[in-house]
Amino acid sequence: MLTKVSIYTDGSARGNPDGPGGYGTIIVFVDSKGQEHIREYSAGYKKTTNNRMELMAAIVGLEALTKPCHVTLYSDSQYLVKAFNEHWIEGWIKKGWKRGKNEPVKNVDLWKRLLKAMEPHKVDFVWVKGHSGHPQNERCDTLATEAADGTNLLDDVVYNG
């Protein structure tokens, strides 16, 4: 039986696109003794986009898991949630990472990394309305914006703005 884990995510970018950005991730699970565990992750980048940070938040949460889990991943990003719930990603892959009128899918590096991070897990994506008082989403937003506004920002080496 897989451990049930909730992952809450949010991404932020100032001056989107091409401004500083950050992500916030919260992982919550209850161990076999009934003890709740909460872990928070965040980082900021010098120049990025909101969508890249939304994807990074999910990636970091999934990559932090050390064994296969049943994950419910909560995000206020329709870009992320609809890609899986409306099966966009399957079409992108079939078309060689093209969408619509044969246009390239953006952020392919992160979509591929996310798919790899998902492999050992069963992941359900749930959309939550942003800035609506959802406690974990609000906390993730704070983590993401503080990271974007912080010092020692990382380079998003693939994003070239």
Q: Which residues are annotated as a binding site for Mg(2+)?
A: 10, 54, 76, 141
Per the annotation, the verdict on 36 as an active-site residue is: no
How many CA atoms within 13 Å lie on the side-chain side of 141? 14
Catalytic residue, from 10, 21, 22, 121: name it.
Answer: 10
Per the annotation, the verdict on 156 as an active-site residue is: no
- Binding-site positions read 10, 54, 76, 141
The residue type found at 113 is R
Q: Where are the alpha helices (DSSP H) in 5-77?
A: 50-63
Q: Where are the alpha helices (DSSP H) in 43-132?
A: 50-63, 78-85, 88-94, 108-118
For residues 117 and 139, give the distance between their C-alpha atoms in angstroms, rounded to a whole number: 23
Catalytic residue, from 37, 131, 150, 155: name it.
Answer: 131
Catalytic residue, from 21, 22, 44, 54: name it.
Answer: 54
Per the annotation, the verdict on 10 as an active-site residue is: yes
Per the annotation, the verdict on 87 as an active-site residue is: no
Catalytic residue, from 21, 22, 24, 76: name it.
Answer: 76
Per the annotation, the verdict on 131 as an active-site residue is: yes
Q: Quick check: helix, strand or coil at residue 150?
A: coil
Per the annotation, the verdict on 149 as an active-site residue is: no
Q: What residues are annotated to the active site? A: 10-11, 54, 76, 131, 141
